[in-house]
Amino acid sequence: VQLQASGGGLVQPGGSLRLSCTSSGYTLDYYGMGWFRQAPGKEREEVSCASTSDDTGFYSTTYADSVKGRFTISRDAATNTVYLQMDSLKPEDTAVYYCATDRTSGGQCPTRYELWGQGTQVTVSS
C-alpha cells in the first residue's frame, strides 16, 4: 500500500473524526495532498487539499464549500502524515474518504491525482 487512509468510523451528527493519511514509501511532505470522498451513487468529490510547506512552515489549503468551516487539513512532516480533522459532522458527510496526490505536481495542490489510498469509511448517523 503506497498511501493509507485511516480513522474513519461511525459518529453521531455533530461529532468529530480525524482522518490520517500515511505512506510507507513516500515522503508526503514533498507533495501536494488531497482528500476526496465518494458517497454511494454520487461522484467523487474533492474535499480539501494542502500544498507543501515553505521554509516558514506555511502551506496553502483549499476546501469544498460543503465543508468550509468544519473540516481542517493539516500536515505533520515528523510523522509523515496528512490529517483531515472533521468537526460538526452531518449525515451528508457519510462517504468513503480517500487521500491522494500527484507526485509530479511540484508541491502545489494537484489538478489531477495519480496516487490514491484505499479509502476509509465515514458514517454519520444517529
DSSP state of 77: G
Measured between alpha carbons, how far is 100 from 55 in angstroms, rounded to an integer?
23
With cut-offs at 50, 70 and 90, classify the pLDDT of residue 1: low
Measured between alpha carbons, how far is 72 from 106 in angstroms, rounded to an integer?
22
Q: Is 25's pLDDT higher than 80?
A: yes
pLDDT in tens, 30-66: 999 999 999 999 999 999 999 998 888 889 999 999 9
pLDDT in tens, 63-77: 999 999 999 999 999
What pLDDT sits at residue 20?
Answer: 98
Which long-range contacts does 60-65 make (Cβ < 8 Å, 24+ apart)? 60/109, 62/109
What pLDDT sits at residue 105?
Answer: 82
Contact (CB, 8 A) for 70 and 77: no
14 contacts: CB under 8 Å, gap ≥ 6: 88, 89
Nine cell digits for residue 37: 470522498
What pLDDT sits at residue 107?
Answer: 87
